Amino acid sequence: MIGAHMVKLFGTNGVRGVVNKELTAEMALRLGRAIGSFFNGTVAIATDTRNSGPMIKSAAAAGLMSVGANVIDLGIVPTPAMQYYVRTHSLSGGVMITASHNPPQFNGIKCADREGRELTREDEEKIESLYAQGTEIKAWDSVGTRTYDASAPEAYVNAVIGHVNADAIRKAKLTVVADCVNGAACVTTPMLLERLGVKSILLNADPKGIPNHPSEPTGDNLKDLMFVVKKEKADLGTAHDGDADRTVFVTDGGIYMEGDESLAVMAKFLLSKKKGLVITPVSTSSMLEDVVRKAGGKISYTAVGSPAIAKAMHRDNAIFGGEGNGGLIFPEHLLCRDGAMAIAKMLECIVTEGPLSEQTEALPKYHTVKRKVYCPDRLKDALVEFLKGENKSAKKDTTDGLKLIYGDGWVLMRPSGTEPLFRITSESKEKDAAVKRADETEAKAEDYIRNMDRSV
């Protein structure tokens, strides 16, 4: 939820809200001014396919120009295509009008820095304070210009193709079913598949404001994709979210791959070519760590969220990183989630390593149990401290919430950033152990909250 009275505008994925309720043209204009003052130079702007995209974009662009920023309008493009454009054209920054996987009534605004990376929290705070203060607008003869450039999708796709063995992919004559979710992927994924010489079957490939199915790429939303992959005996199924930074996969048998499985398969393949470091959040299954170690690589963990992963990848010179929601990061191309790179690399992986169903089947197996516990915001820190004291024997990691690590698995307790609750994830090789630890943690947390709530 956002509103002019709040100082914190940016959530985990930029500023987001229901259009003309929480996110208005007036806000976009004011935010455009703040962003323009922050970047102080030429800025690219782009949208996904939402109905409100032109309205929010026009308002944000007017704000940018009013403080003297020159605006290059890229049209409808995936977020990573905008990020690639900003980096390769040496711009000061980029603005993406998107609410990613949220329903069509939502929209949002997020920014990329000159390297094409998502902004750090510190930079977002600078924009928020410019927004709160209000920014000075320029005289009539110093306002910014607006130009249009339709080259971003093609430039992005060509760059992606340059990072894979395209000849080997073309020779393999693969069949791919791609669900573009009527989103930004419509302008890049069909082009990518065509240029890589695969036979493509496209679903929901017409860009439109109201997608044919919800744009969060979960198994439940991708039943048609799984059906068509199986029926057509395709080698791969793939789908994106609304702004096509995230990518998920369906195996040649028509089975939806969990995000952690995609990470593990990809890490194994990349490590077979080059040893190095893989970075992922503490919430990722140990399946990935097992695979990375066996392949001779190293792994390190960050807090949840792609900016934290990208930052650590940059600092520690990682070869690959990603999170379990379909966000895969390939640093040789961009330090952000990269929908088209994920597809191209997965095709190369299939050509080199064999059918995805077999690769997935060979992964280590873990059992995961997820729970939610109510916890008022004011008790979140205290609950973490309490649980730390309650679990003296386990190894502890406090990168994000509290992770208790045992010989056969772990429990992660993370406070939600937006809701009054704690998320509990319990993973183990043994199903009973995973359930037992989730039960125990949930019961302890509930007891604690009940007692504390009563005591105030």
Residue 274: φ, ψ to 5°? -155, 125
Based on the residue annotation, tell me whether 100 is a catalytic residue of this protein: yes
Dihedral sign computed on CA atoms, order 156, 222, 412, 379: positive
Q: 100, 306, 426, 428: which is the annotated catalytic residue? A: 100
Of the two residues 254 and 327, which places its CB atom closer to Mg ion in the complex?
327
Q: By CB under 5 A, is residue 48 in contact with Mg ion?
A: no
Residues 100-139, one symbol each (x = binds Mg ion by CB under 5 A, - = not), give x---------------------------------------
How many residues comprise the chain?
456
User: Where does residue 167 fall: left (phi above 0), alpha (psi -120 to 50 degrees), or beta otherwise?
Assistant: alpha
Q: By CB under 5 A, is residue 47 in contact with Mg ion?
A: no
Compute the least distance from the CB of residue 316 to Mg ion, in Å. 24
Residue 48 Cα to chain centre, angstroms? 15
Distance CA 86, CA 65 (A): 17
Compute the least distance from the CB of residue 80 to Mg ion, in Å. 9
Dihedral sign computed on CA atoms, order 298, 300, 305, 309: negative
Compute the least distance from the CB of residue 246 to Mg ion, in Å. 5
Q: Angle, nearest 10°, between helix axes 121-133 and 25-39?
A: 120
Query: What is the C-alpha end-to-end distance of the chain, expressed in Å?
Result: 28
Single out the segment in contact with Mg ion by CB under 5 A; choices: 97-105, 124-132, 133-141, 354-362: 97-105
Instruction: Tally the C-alpha atoms within 13 A of residue 335's C-alpha that lie toward its C-beta.
Output: 23
Q: Within positions 409 to 428, which residues make up the interface with Mg ion, using CB under 5 A?
A: none
Q: Provide the token pair at 183.
A: 């989103």
Dihedral sign computed on CA atoms, order 331, 334, 335, 339: negative
Single out the segment in contact with Mg ion by CB under 5 A; choices: 47-55, 220-228, 234-242, 303-311: 234-242
Compute the least distance from the CB of residue 100 to Mg ion, in Å. 3
Report the DSSP beta bridge partners of residue 404. 396, 411
Q: By CB under 5 A, is residue 285 in contact with Mg ion?
A: no
Of the two residues 100 and 221, which places its CB atom closer to Mg ion in the complex?
100
Compute the least distance from the CB of residue 304 to Mg ion, in Å. 15
By the 8 A CB rule, do 428 and 409 touch? yes
Of the two residues 100 and 285, which places its CB atom closer to Mg ion in the complex?
100
Give the one residue of 48, 123, 241, 323 binding Mg ion; rule: CB under 5 A.
241
| Residue among 145, 100, 144, 136 at smallest CA distance from 118 | 100
| Residue closest to Mg ion (Cβ) | 100
Give the one residue of 216, 235, 245, 442 binding Mg ion; rule: CB under 5 A.
245
Give the one residue of 48, 235, 243, 442 binding Mg ion; rule: CB under 5 A.
243
Q: Within positions 139 to 158, which residues make up the interface with Mg ion, using CB under 5 A?
A: none
- Interacting residues toward Mg ion by CB under 5 A: 100, 241, 243, 245
Known catalytic residues are: 100
